[in-house]
Structure 1
């Protein structure tokens, strides 16, 4: 399966990181504990047991923090107080015993996670203690003159915790290290500040009030842990209501947008299949007009309940997209599997009894559905939605009560549709005839190159359609550029060049106004991105740019170099090939550059061979 090797490599690196942290933690324990605990007095052992008990209780009363549910507990306040009052060796002894007890109590947690947590705490405690000593701190009562030492050492404790956890996410999930650190600090800062303040409170109470002070601290900490837990429960309850459609109880459109982006990101990372289905109740308006909105709402709820029941205990995410339209996000389903599942839902609905079905042309309840599958060159989540929506439109056009996969028209239908789309785009390009004839001719030439290259690349019909039509319409945004700038013979001024660069954004907006051409937007918007990340409008780099957009960049540049332009010298084919190779790896994808050069060279040889 594509991506599985990469996924295994990430986890292998993750395990290597875990083992490295564990070895470091155990080594630091052996070095800094110094085997001093056999020499503890009975009084010292009494404090060890008391503080171990407090640490275990607080660890068991862990809680989650909004918005992402990051786990947290207040046991760190105990370890910090141990450092401040009793010193490093004592703190490591308390950590060792409490970790051992937690390992017994939480037997359902895999052993290496216990060892990893213990090692992380060991590293944090060691770094904090050394920082505290380095700034003049010493074990004993809280000294007001050394508040800076307490503050800096606690900041080190927090920083090491965030860094060690963020590194794990970075290695395994390939998440941005900086973004992960920011997220962790943002989400846990309040709870951590509470922990740090509590550690100072415990330091004072233990030193001056003994066991009574520890009991008071424990009462306060338990109440605080319970409050954080209740806060998270309340947050989740509010979030759940915000993410649900009030009428159907399904997820709403806003939540669908969020989870779609997340699922696409997962598919990008691990290569797993992902399909999106859009469902629309057939002839709903007719039913609504005949029976009224109340009955119409009842029909929407009826279908929603059926979808909910049929997807219970599955990973399929059902949302009310709007009106009588629903979306189903199907992780781990390719389009064939998704079609089979949606077809089964459709037949179930056909056989369902509901008041008033006799008015439907089909004589039963029915829906039409469109399915689109995630592909690596999907640039934006809106593309997947648009593809599913187009497939839904096609299903409606074919007589309703059917499921259609995007791009699965017959060859004849595809040819007819393609020819009509080319004519529609050419009608828009005809506006260049009076404004900039050269752009019109350039677009036609790039289109012809794209047609040839799509055959050389052996593209499927759907990719060929998008690539070639995208090539034809890629410069449509130049219609918004003033005539004087488009036809200027001299070199463009910086502000004029900035205006020219806007044509990709204007062109995208123009394409998005026409439902038929929404999926061409990436070719318009991204054909000036560069392989090294210095292009515009986003500065995408390498494979962040869809593959066929990278190819369009090469074709567009080659034609621009080999035809007359007002602000640059025309190159011969050989000179253009030299330029392409010189810019491979910076402006152009190296592999696609060589592919295009081979195509051009074979194309240039044809007339010579024919004349022999």
Structure 2
């Protein structure tokens, strides 16, 4: 009998059977795949067969085995789209071609497995692996399932070991094909299938543990931590694609009264029931629901404007009102109700925490208006009474008197500039208040900077400068301790961001930086340049204004630079600015305002 498999002629039944047994082995191994991240990706141990064919036979035999296997697989796996079959065939062809020529280039010889060819084997697998990772990652990226970087990270995490196992198995199979082809191939199949089951169980166990870590055990919804991760990922996607995104923060009204009247166990039942109701209503729209903590829930609404979100949440609120649950008769409204705050993402929101904070503020405003209603975050929510916060912050600021008299006086001057400059800008009353409070307290984080660094007379080292830069995040943490000051957080945290993206702590660019933080950056830098510090010479008012102009568009927002110069020159019309230049020429300004 004469049968030709590729370019290899089989003149005996044993050789004929061996060729088609190899094809059958690839089909069997292709059925028992190893699950790999990201979700939907898998590794088939048929790769070990193909690599063994490259090492023992040649590229023609290997591609012939692939072709026959692909055609048979296409015939019985008709549920898979034809293009997916073609993609897989093309992918394997490219990987095996690359691996073969790498093997030959590195001195490998087909026909026998030799220890001296170890470098060639490793090189072939490396190319095989790199091609696979790059092409599959690109595939997931094109489908829009994940970013290219995330896809690459997913593949590299936990897959390298699998590919090393594939190489070792291919070498073992090569030895078996040389020694006892049929028995060796049988043993290889058994071992490979068992490994596939083991890997699959391991992956399923990992997924199960991961899901438990991400799920709230009481309601079955996503938990606080996992939701924040999803929110950050969604925000990155929204920023890239410029799509709409809304967020609702929901709090069950008078939940403590329900617990006190019905018991905590019944309260848990209510939370579970409420979570199920939210999930049921949000699923058709692919909204993400999570339990944020206690009786608070959050709903993330991709591709949804704030008006659409408000309409949906209000309809949901009405449905909740009309849905009976045992024990709600004790509540003030006599029914189950919630208060909700709604926020739509915009370019001035730079972190997930800020996004959540605004929705949270809107929710508390809704509760303050009598509960059982929804409220959209906006200017009308600004109800800060300027007098009481000012007194409280003045007390905080006085802590600087003992540590750093300069920062105390600097903050007072920046506050004065903010009050006067804010009157010249097109700001509403609430924005003016926020700017004033932010200016007064913007350097509060320097309370956490070691005193020896704060009071150092010489130039700061790079490590000391990194420590000083942390004052913005420390200040954010101090101010965030009180919810009523959350609107001031961007000013405290972001007043050292630069218009060109070279600032800190996040490197935001242009209008990614909130408007009030851009204004404060100009005012803060102007005062720092024109007052005495030990690190560099003080500039006169005239020089400082020239510096602002020179750095407009790089360090500063050019619009607010011009507005500030107009304000300041108008304010000092009767003064001789040149006199300040002469009188202050020997002073020095703060290190952190270097341009």
**TM-score where L is the length of structure 1:** 0.80
Q: Does residue 596 of structure 1 match 2:564? A: no
Cα drift, residue 178 of structure 1 = 7.0
Give the direction of change, closer, same or farther, for the CA distance of 1:584–1:174 in structure 2 (3 Å limit). farther
Aligned residue-pair number: 564
Correspondence for 1:264: 235
Point out where structure 2 has 5 or more consecutive residues left out of the alignment. Answer: 576-595
Correspondence for 1:400: 371
Partners of 1:565 and 1:534 in 2: CA distance: 23
Partners of 2:317 and 2:450 in 1: CA distance: 52
Residue among 76, 79, 98 paired with 1:127: 98
Aligned residue for 1:41, secondary structure, equals strand
Correspondence for 1:295: 266
Point out where structure 1 has 5 or more consecutive residues left out of the alignment. Answer: 1-35
Q: Which moved more, 1:152-161 or 1:557-566?
A: 557-566
Would the aligned equivalents of 2:287 and 2:300 in 1 still touch at CA under 8 Å? yes
Cα drift, residue 132 of structure 1 = 1.6
Q: Which moved more, 1:152-161 or 1:115-124?
A: 115-124
Correspondence for 2:413: 442
Residue among 158, 174, 185 paired with 2:129: 158
Q: Does residue 546 of structure 1 match 2:546? A: no
Give the direction of change, closer, same or farther, for the CA distance of 1:60–1:382 in structure 2 (3 Å limit). same
Would the aligned equivalents of 1:407 and 1:461 in 2 still touch at CA under 8 Å? no
Deviation readout 1:65-99 (Å, 9 max, x if unpaired): 25756422222112111110111222233334434
Correspondence for 1:329: 300
Give the direction of change, closer, same or farther, for the CA distance of 1:605–1:579 in structure 2 (3 Å limit). closer
Give the direction of change, closer, same or farther, for the CA distance of 1:51–1:573 in structure 2 (3 Å limit). farther
Correspondence for 1:520: 488
After superposition, residues 382-461 of structure 1 pair within 5 angstroms as 382-407=353-378, 409=380, 414=382, 417=385, 421=389, 424-426=392-394, 428-429=396-397, 435-436=405-406, 437-448=408-419, 451=422, 455=426
Cα drift, residue 251 of structure 1 = 2.4
Would the aligned equivalents of 1:407 and 1:462 in 2 still touch at CA under 8 Å? no
Q: Does residue 345 of structure 1 match 2:313? A: no
Cα drift, residue 45 of structure 1 = 7.0
Deviation readout 1:450-477 (Å, 9 max, x if unpaired): 636862xxx7888776666434432222
Residue among 270, 278, 284 paired with 2:249: 278
Would the aligned equivalents of 1:275 and 1:373 in 2 still touch at CA under 8 Å? yes
Would the aligned equivalents of 2:107 and 2:120 in 1 still touch at CA under 8 Å? yes
Give the direction of change, closer, same or farther, for the CA distance of 1:205–1:322 in structure 2 (3 Å limit). same
Deviation readout 1:328-352 (Å, 9 max, x if unpaired): 2222222222222222222112122
Q: Does residue 365 of structure 1 match 2:332? A: no
Give the direction of change, closer, same or farther, for the CA distance of 1:126–1:38 in structure 2 (3 Å limit). closer
Over the aligned positions, Cα root-mean-square deviation in angstroms equals: 3.8
Would the aligned equivalents of 2:320 and 2:336 in 1 still touch at CA under 8 Å? yes
Deviation readout 1:119-153 (Å, 9 max, x if unpaired): 43333222221222233211112113322322232
More contact order relative to length (CA 8 Å, sep ≥ 6)? 1
Partners of 2:400 and 2:316 in 1: CA distance: 49
Partners of 1:131 and 1:449 in 2: CA distance: 71
Give the direction of change, closer, same or farther, for the CA distance of 1:551–1:440 in structure 2 (3 Å limit). closer
Give the direction of change, closer, same or farther, for the CA distance of 1:389–1:315 in structure 2 (3 Å limit). same
Partners of 1:128 and 1:485 in 2: CA distance: 58
